[in-house]
């Protein structure tokens, strides 16, 4: 699993391996694991998925499957054998699983069938840590261990259930069962198989107690520390793709933290709500900050373009905020040994003149900030629970500052100013693009039905519904018929419907956005880079963007449990998937 010498035999002999795997039934091979499978289908990560036999079994029972297979020929054969839209194939490998981690998904079940013997012993602690951080609280990990001599053409190392138990304990996992060794189903007399199951009883990483301690117990002389944590929670939830993952931490662009910081403090400062003791000024609130008053908070978002005098002021205000963040809360939010939890380095004030695109290049120019990996994973999965704790403490501290100055503040007023202001639901810009193309005589089809759109029947659908996620990004706005848009309503598009619509979505992205003017094209690309789990920082190919949309759809479904839409039947009545 870790090197080409391990993967090459599976690539070279992919047909023989696929035939051998498919000849054996899932329930026959995994009879020891069956009693321990979760009762209800959820999300499963199949690492080393091989021919897709196990992935197909789970998908056929309603599970959402992420199938990881590093051997490209075997992965292609598996996708051909099991073309199920509930299975997403990913080229990734242990011990890092870097592509999987970028998706931000948590799994009810992590499944490793015949994989662990390919991991060299020195890489197993890292592999276990990476796997454990992908489990949801209450999640389960299943591994089958191969005991016996290694074939001549495939590197393998001895495995032991006690070693797995120790590694699991190091990462908060408890041994549920280690079965007796059983005979090999292919009749190899010197090979035995064993099933080991590990459980994650809680968050398993200590991230939540750490965050709770930072929020509730660390001494504060202003609301800076709370603001930094909230910025990180917001980035983890809305723009996680900006993170660059290293071994034990992720690195974030300090400029994006500064942008969210300005967006957060703007309503508070403009309403005169105290954020520090009386007589103590906020170091980043200077002339440039005040000059941003004409901007609404939601104008400060990745993908936006700021022009004129506002661009001049924003360059300075971002640098002021980034410098304050690096020198104050990032330095003084500490572990018990006084080392910073979120060390940051200020880069430089943005150069240039003219319009200011709020993009990744700008954000990284301002510097970087590091977040421990286990804290980042907790923020990504639990931001909706962490943020209310931050807001409650922020209100308490602001009211305390006010009371010391002889003022009385309403908690409702503070919460109103702290509310994260999103733009209104807006499809007008994209509707205009569609209408312009229709006026030019171009044919535009409904992405969900494939039927041609007429000028009077145009609607623009949020692919991922606005009610579940307030996202006006261009990639999320698609031309649709009135019947399809109203039928889909507030539901998440089902996997099969999305897969069937793929060529029409790609065509609209190409014609509607990439073939448009420079500003529209830049906005489309930057919004996708910010909010979709794309593989790296470069401008994405449309195929990559579609795969990332499907992963984002799966994450939204996982987090909200919103009903799925199974498309319009022939009669035109909507169907809701179970």
- Using DSSP's 3-state secondary structure scheme, residue 146 falls into strand
pLDDT for residue 420 = 81
- Check whether residue 436 and residue 407 sit in a common domain: no
Q: Which of 199, 218, 238 is the last residue of a domain?
A: 199
Residue 217, pLDDT score: 56
Query: Is residue 310 situated within a structural domain?
Result: yes
Largest CA distance in the chain: 83
The total number of structural domains in the chain stands at 3
Average pLDDT, the chain: 87
Whether residues 175 and 269 share a domain: the answer is no
Whether residue 204 is predicted with pLDDT greater than 70 in this model: the reply is no
> What's this model's pTM, rounded to 2 decimal places?
0.72
394 and 537 together in one domain: no
What local confidence, expressed as pLDDT, does residue 572 receive?
45
Q: Indicate the residue among 418, 438, 461 that finishes a domain.
A: 418
DSSP string, 357-382: E-SHHHHHHTEEEEEEHHHHHHHHHH
Alpha-carbon span 198 to 139, nearest angstrom? 9
Whether residue 94 has pLDDT greater than 80: yes
436 and 558 together in one domain = yes
What pLDDT is recorded for position 216? 59
What is the torsional sign of CA 250, 253, 258, 263? Answer: negative
> 213 and 195, same structural domain?
no
Look at residue 281 and tell me if it is in a domain.
yes
Strands (E) in 133-191, as ranges, are 135-147, 174-178, 182-183
Q: Could you please report the per-residue DSSP string of 263-298?
A: HHHHHHHHTT--SSSTT---TT-SHHHHTTTTS-GG
Average pLDDT over residues 530-558: 86
Closest CA to 143 of 290, 11, 7, 32: 32
Q: Are 248 and 125 in contact (CB under 8 A)?
A: no
State whether residue 162 is helix, strand or coil.
helix
Query: For residue 383, what pLDDT band results from cuts at 50, 70 and 90?
Result: confident
423 domain-assigned: no
Q: What is the pLDDT of residue 170?
A: 79
Distances (CA, A) of 142 to 34, 176, 468: 10, 10, 32
Could you tell me if 251 and 150 lie in one domain? Answer: no
Average pLDDT over residues 384-412: 85
Look at residue 467 and tell me if it is in a domain: yes
pLDDT at 346 over 90: yes
How far, rounded to the nearest angstrom, does the alpha carbon of residue 123 sit from its chain's CA centroid? 25
Q: Is the dihedral of CA 166, 168, 174, 176 positive or negative?
A: negative
DSSP codes, 21-69: HHTS-HHHHTTTTGGGS-SS--EEEEET-TTSHHHHHHHHTT-EEEEE-
Residues 219 and 108 both lie in one domain: no
Band of pLDDT at residue 1, cut at 50, 70 and 90: very low
Pairwise CA distance, residues 70 & 217, whole Å: 45
Q: What are phi and psi of 278, to 5 degrees?
A: -55, 135
Q: What's the mean pLDDT in 216-230?
A: 78
| Exposed/middle/buried for residue 442 (C-beta within 10 Å: 0-12, 13-18, 19+) | exposed
Q: Are residues 255 and 367 in the same domain?
A: yes
Q: Which of 355, 351, 366 is nearest to 319 (CA)?
A: 366
Query: 373, 398, 418 — which closes off a domain?
Result: 418
Between vectors from CA 327 to CA 324 and to CA 332, what angle results, nearest 5°?
115
Domain match, 290 and 432 both = no
Of 253-267, 479-493, 552-566, the poorest mean pLDDT is in: 552-566
What domain range includes position 400? 207-418
Picking from 506, 490, 507, 503, the residue whose alpha carbon sits closest to that of residue 574 is: 490
- 492: β partners: 564
CA atoms of 44 and 229, how far apart (whole Å): 30
pLDDT at 268 over 80: yes
Quick one: which of 434, 430, 450 has its CA closest to 442?
434
Residues 116 and 211 grouped into a single domain: no
Identify the pLDDT of residue 570.
54
Residues 237 and 287 occupy one common structural domain: yes
Q: State whether 146 and 266 are in the same domain.
A: no
Is the pLDDT at 154 greater than 90? The verdict is: no
In this structure, the dihedral spanned by the alpha carbons of residues 504, 510, 516 and 521, taken in order and rounded to 10 degrees, is 120
Q: Is the link from the previous residue into 218 a cis peptide, with omega within 30 of 0?
A: no
CATH number of the domain bearing residue 103: 3.40.50.150
Residue pair 207/133 in contact by the 8 Å Cβ criterion: no
**493 with 545: CB under 8 angstroms?**
no
């Amino acid at each position: 699993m870790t090197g080409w010498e391990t993967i090459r035999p599976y690539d070279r002999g992919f047909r023989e391996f696929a035939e051998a795997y498919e000849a054996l039934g899932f329930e026959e091979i995994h009879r020891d694991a069956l009693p321990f499978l979760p009762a209800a289908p959820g999300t499963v990560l199949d690492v080393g998925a091989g021919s897709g036999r196990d992935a197909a079994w789970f998908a056929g029972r309603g599970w959402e499957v992420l199938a990881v297979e590093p051997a490209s020929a075997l992965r292609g054969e598996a996708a051909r054998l099991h073309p199920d839209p509930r299975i997403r194939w990913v080229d990734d490998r242990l011990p890092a699983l870097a592509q999987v981690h970028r998706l931000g998904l948590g799994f009810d079940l992590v499944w490793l069938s015949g994989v662990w013997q390919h991991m060299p012993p020195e890489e197993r602690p890292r592999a276990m840590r990476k796997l454990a951080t992908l489990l949801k609280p209450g999640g389960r990990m299943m591994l089958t261990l191969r005991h016996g001599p290694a074939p001549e053409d495939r590197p393998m190392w001895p495995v032991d259930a006690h070693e797995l138990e120790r590694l699991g304990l190091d990462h908060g996992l408890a041994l549920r069962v280690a079965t007796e060794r059983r005979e090999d189903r292919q009749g190899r007399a010197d090979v035995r198989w064993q099933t080991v199951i590990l459980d994650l009883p809680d968050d398993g990483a200590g991230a939540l107690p750490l965050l709770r301690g930072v929020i509730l117990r660390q001494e504060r002389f202003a609301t800076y520390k709370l603001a930094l944590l909230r910025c990180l929670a917001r980035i983890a939830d809305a723009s996680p793709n900006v993170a660059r993952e290293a071994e034990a931490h992720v690195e974030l662009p300090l400029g994006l933290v500064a942008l969210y910081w300005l967006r957060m403090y703007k309503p508070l400062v403009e309403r005169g709500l105290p954020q520090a003791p009386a007589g103590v000024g906020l170091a980043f609130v200077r002339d440039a900050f005040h000059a941003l008053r004409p901007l609404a908070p939601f104008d400060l978002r990745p993908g936006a373009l700021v022009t004129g005098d506002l661009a001049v002021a924003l360059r300075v205000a971002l640098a002021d905020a980034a410098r304050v963040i690096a020198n104050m809360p990032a330095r003084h939010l500490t572990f018990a040994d006084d080392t910073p939890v979120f060390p940051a380095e200020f880069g430089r004030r943005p150069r240039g003149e003219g319009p200011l695109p709020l993009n990744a290049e700008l954000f990284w120019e301002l510097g970087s900030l590091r977040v421990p990996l286990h804290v980042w994973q907790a923020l990504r999965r639990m931001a909706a629970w962490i943020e209310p704790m931050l807001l409650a403490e922020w209100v308490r501290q602001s009211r305390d500052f006010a009371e010391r100055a002889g003022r009385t503040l309403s908690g409702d007023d503070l919460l109103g100013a702290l509310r994260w202001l999103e733009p209104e639901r807006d499809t007008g810009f994209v509707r205009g693009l569609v209408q312009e193309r229709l006026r030019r005589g171009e044919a535009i089809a409904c992405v969900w039905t494939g039927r041609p759109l007429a000028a009077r029947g145009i609607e623009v659908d949020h692919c991922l519904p606005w009610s579940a996620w307030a996202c006006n990004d261009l990639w999320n706005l698609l031309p649709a018929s009135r019947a399809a848009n109203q039928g889909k309503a507030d539901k998440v598009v089902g996997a099969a419907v999305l897969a069937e619509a793929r060529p029409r979505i790609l065509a609209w992205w190409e014609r509607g956005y990439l073939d448009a003017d420079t500003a529209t094209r830049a906005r489309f690309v930057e919004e996708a880079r910010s909010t979709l789990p794309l593989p790296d920082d470069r401008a994405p190919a449309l195929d990559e963007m579609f795969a990332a949309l499907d992963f984002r759809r799966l994450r939204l479904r996982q987090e909200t449990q919103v009903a799925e839409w199974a498309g319009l039947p022939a009669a035109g009545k909507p169907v809701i998937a179970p």
